[in-house]
Amino acid sequence: MIRVVTFDAAGTVIRLVQPAGYTYARVAVGFGCNCDPERMQAAFATAWRMLPSPPETPGPNPDDGRGWWRSLVEKTLDIAGYRVDRFDEYFAKLYATFRQRGIWELYQDADTILSRLNSSGIRLGVISNFDGRLRTILQQLDVADRFEHLVISSEVGAEKPSSRIFHEAARRFAVEPDEILHVGDDPEVDIDGARAAGLQALLVDHKKVMLSAVLEKVVG
């Protein structure tokens, strides 16, 4: 019996209004670097694939994952072949930009799905490889109160697909892992990771499998 549904955040419930590289380029203009947005986005995608995940820590990440994001920005600029003067200021501005209104949006059906699940008595949570900015983002999108627990990797000290973060969610909800359905868009990180930890899992891609598949599986 499914008692809890947890969601991945970015790519599942929320998405960027513009690709990350476009925001990198836009903010760089204020620091004297006229970067091509498409070039920056291509470099961002490559850097994202290349950069290893943050190492696990016994408790919360000391800097809430900020150092990892800084390394990602440095790698993106290096791959794109750009140099931004006053890099420390640029990174601070960029880091803050990604928690501002208008940067993120909900997927079209997300609010309806969350509301129906709440009405059906299903407890909801988030399990996300993100940092503390996620709390502000969900509040701005008016869905923070839909979730009983936000299990954020930088605050746990472990990222999906580590079983540790999934088991932390089960501990907070005080349920058995197999009573949780985890919903995400990444086959390895979300689906394989959840199943390895003993959770049920549902892959959504917002094309062939929509978020509404959660309702079919849980509510009927």
Give the confidence band of 200 by pLDDT, cuts at 50, 70, 90.
Answer: very high
Report the b/e string of 152-191 with b at 16+ CB within 10 A: bbbbbbbbbbbbebbbbbbeebebebebbbbbbbbeebbb
Q: Which pLDDT band holds residue 100 (cuts at 50, 70, 90)?
A: very high
> Chain-wide mean pLDDT for the chain?
97
**Could you report the per-residue pLDDT of 14-55, keeping only the tens digit for each?**
999 999 999 999 999 999 999 999 999 999 999 999 999 999
- Find out whether 20 and 41 touch, Cβ atoms under 8 Å: yes
Region for 185 from its dihedrals, namely left if φ exceeds 0, alpha if ψ lies in -120 to 50, beta otherwise: alpha
Six-digit token pair at 125?
A: 């949570």
Kindly give the pairing relationship between strand 14-16 and strand 104-106. Answer: antiparallel
Mean pLDDT of the region 86-115: 97
Domain ranges of the chain: 4-15+103-218, 18-97
Question: Is the predicted pLDDT of residue 220 greater than 80, yes or no?
Answer: no
How much of the chain exceeds pLDDT 70, in percent? 100
What pLDDT, on a 0 to 100 scale, did the predictor assign at position 219? Answer: 84
E strands in 116-176: 123-128, 149-152
Given a cut of 90, whether residue 109 has pLDDT beyond it is: yes
Percent of the chain with pLDDT over 90: 99
Please write the tens of the pLDDT for every residue from 81-93: 999 999 999 999 9
The neighbouring-strand residues paired with 14 are: 10, 106
Q: Cis before residue 161, ω within 30 degrees of 0?
A: yes
User: Do 24 and 48 touch, CB atoms closer than 8 A?
Assistant: no
CATH class belonging to 4-15+103-218? alpha beta
Class of domain 18-97: mainly alpha
From the list 6, 2, 1, the residue with the least C-alpha distance to 194 is 6
